[in-house]
Amino acid sequence: MHHVHRAIGRAAKELTRTSDIDHLRTVAEGVQKVATALTGLVDALAERSPAAVARAGHADIGEELVRDLRAARGCLTTAGLLLAPAVSDLREIANGRVPPKDKKRRRLYEDVTTPKPTAATVIDGKTVPREITAAPEAAKAS
């Protein structure tokens, strides 16, 4: 894992010194492959961790640990999917073609990355959307 971490650090440093489209495409494809490979590694962690934490005397946190790892896997899967359009665009440009303007894809990306602000209330240290906190009053009014 240490070698992978160092290689990623070198790739990031190299990116600060280049704007070559082929190099950018290669790195973007590599990032997508790494994200996908990490999902497999997280799956293996989720599979092996419950027994290991039980042997260490902490069986009570095994399920929570698996939930955390599944959430991390979901994020890695999403990262790979969100990188796909960028990889595709860079591939098109590297091959001398103009990437198509995909309005639906761009709108979906904006929906995923730009959350709409909502009014919220803090209850017991947790932020709760105001619609939820106002629901009991609204139910009484109807």
- pLDDT tens string 93-116: 888 888 777 655 555 555 555 555
Q: What is the predicted pLDDT for the residue at 107?
A: 55
Between 56 and 135, residue with greater pLDDT: 56
126 assigned to some structural domain: no
110 assigned to some structural domain: no
CB burial of residue 76 (10 Å; 0-12, 13-18, 19+)? buried
Closest to 53 measured CA to CA, from 65, 41, 42, 44: 65
Q: Are 123 and 99 in contact (CB under 8 A)?
A: no
Q: 92: which 2 tokens?
A: 């098109």
| Reported confidence tier of residue 18, pLDDT bands at 50, 70, 90 | confident
The answer, yes or no, to whether residue 32 has pLDDT greater than 60, is yes
Domain extent at residue 65: 2-100
136 assigned to some structural domain: no
Distance CA 54, CA 73 (A): 22
Q: What is the predicted pLDDT for the residue at 8?
A: 87
60 assigned to some structural domain: yes
Distance CA 62, CA 111 (A): 34
Q: What is the predicted pLDDT for the residue at 134?
A: 41
117 assigned to some structural domain: no
129 assigned to some structural domain: no
pLDDT above 90 as % of the chain: 23
Q: Are 46 and 66 in contact (CB under 8 A)?
A: yes
The answer, yes or no, to whether residue 131 has pLDDT greater than 50, is no
Q: What is the predicted pLDDT for the residue at 110?
A: 59
Q: What is the predicted pLDDT for the residue at 59?
A: 86
77 assigned to some structural domain: yes
Positive or negative, the Cα torsion across 95, 97, 102, 106? Answer: positive
123 assigned to some structural domain: no
Instruction: Give, for 74, the enclosing helix (H) or strand (E).
Output: helix 62-94
Closest to 76 measured CA to CA, from 54, 46, 52, 101: 46
Q: 138 to each of 117, 119, 126, 128, how far by Cα in Å?
A: 22, 16, 21, 16
Total number of domains in the chain = 1
pLDDT above 70 as % of the chain: 71
The answer, yes or no, to whether residue 119 has pLDDT greater than 50, is yes
